[in-house]
Amino acid sequence: MIDFTADIKSKHSVANILLGDNISSYIDELYKNHSIKIKNYTLPDSETRVAYIVNDTITIATLSDGTIFSIGCNVHYQGLYRGVLSTGMSFGQIKKLTKRQRIFNGSIILDDDFGFSYVLPAPYDEIADSIEDIPLDLILSEIYISDFSSWLSSPS
């Protein structure tokens, strides 16, 4: 059952929706109990993706075959990551609760967990080159889970 208070689990789940599952496993419940917006998009390599926005709270991103590869949540989501981190926290709060913060592709990776990220809001997603560029009072409103490990081998 989809639950907007469920724990956020790195590389695993948000709202009890599992990475790697097919969206078809959830579609009946989604349409029966929630407001759904669907956005189709095409990547530069012509691959297609679909984003299911549920109650303006979570975003489920799928491959063209329906496989869920990423799940995001915003400030309307009530679940926690590691029992203490959530959307809507300031960067200063997050910094106090974690050992290491790194910027990759407009996102913040915490404690080298490449299955969880905070999305940097504009303009910091474009201009922040180091953690010191991020103001401590900046509110981080979006979290995504996926497998971001490929970012480690990205050419600099």
The DSSP line for 8-42 is BBTTTEETTEETTSBGGGTHHHHHHHS-EEEEEEE
- Residue 124 has a pLDDT of 87
Q: Which residues does 104 contact at the CB level (< 8 Å), separation at least 6?
A: 117, 148, 151, 154
Q: How far is residue 129's CA from residue 64's CA, in Å, rounded to a whole number?
A: 33
First to last CA, the chain: 41
- Residue 155 has a pLDDT of 52
Tell me which residue has tokens 């998009």: 41
- Residue 33 has a pLDDT of 95
Along the chain (156 residues), what's the average pLDDT of each consecutive run of 10 residues?
Answer: 96 98 96 96 88 97 96 98 97 97 93 96 84 94 94 65
Rounded to two decimals, the pTM is: 0.92
Angle 119-79-85 (CA atoms, 0-180°, nearest 5)? 55
**Is the CB of residue 49 less than 8 Å from the CB of residue 41?**
yes
> Identity (one letter) of the amino acid at 60?
I
Q: Which residues does 141 contact at the CB level (< 8 Å), separation at least 6?
A: 74, 75, 87, 88, 119, 121
